[in-house]
Amino acid sequence: MPRSPRIHRYRDGDELVARAANMLLQRLISLQAGGTHVPQLGLSGGRIASQVYAAFAQVAPLTPFDPALLELWWTDERFVPLHDDFRHAGQTLSSLAGALAFDPARTHPMPAADGQVELDQAARVYAQELGDTVFDICMLGMGPDGHVAAIFPDHPSFEPTSQTVIPVRDSPKPPGERLTVSLSVLNRSREVWFVVNGAEKAAAVREALSGNPDVPAARVGGSVRTLWLVDEPAAAELPWHICDL
């Protein structure tokens, strides 16, 4: 892991969601306060992420946060048609955009399987759009197998690559075709925030934080800061003394 992480442990999923949403909001307000830098936010999909975004959207309108001064990027996407309910971008924006007016020019969903581009071309298109962007904050979940974004253990997506956006085939999780940013893109993020809940992920949390090189999550961290926000079931196999809260 590129940097030693800080681990915040919460009682349950509800507390985790509320605290993660508030922490994200306060950090983005801080980043916007200087007035000269538009923060770059990397977003992930998944159930817990969607809950965090929904909680964020509930509280953000009452604060100085300016959604028009935020660049939204996605770390991975299911390569399905644009209006498929399975798309991460659609799920995320349905949680966020109903209450917050984001700038469409600063919203960067990954290409969809709409017949205009095939998977490899879609990866190239997003890589060009992403360029050398550095995420100020990269939000990540983690699967029970330790995967992050769409980078899976024992899979070609986890192999070394010079690509910044990878076309993923034969994904261990459906659908079989996906897009993902590479480990190099994740690791150039200034801050990486893992948000993980559930007892079924406890072993993967332990392995990732022990630095097991066979676990993708163990290979990811921010250049400035790495946070693990976990509930008690997900932290069950960690010594309590290594958790900050």
Kind of pairing between the strands at 76-78 and 178-181: antiparallel
Query: Using 50, 70 and 90 to split pLDDT, how confident is the model at 1?
Result: very low
Q: Please state, rounded to an integer, the average pLDDT across all residues of the chain.
A: 95
Say whether the peptide bond before residue 175 is cis (omega within 30 degrees of 0): yes
* Whole-angstrom distance, CA of residue 96 vs CA of residue 88: 12
Q: What is the mean pLDDT of residues 71-100?
A: 94
Name the residue ranges covered by the structural domains of the chain: 6-235
Give me the half-sphere count of Cα atoms (radius 13 Å) on the Cβ side of residue 41.
23
pLDDT digits (tens, 9 = 90+) for 173-207: 999 999 999 999 999 999 999 999 999 999 999 99
Fold observed for domain 6-235: Rossmann fold (3.40.50)
Q: Which of 113, 101, 94 is nearest to 54 (CA)?
A: 94
pTM equals 0.95
pLDDT digits (tens, 9 = 90+) for 94-129: 989 888 999 999 999 999 999 889 999 999 999 999
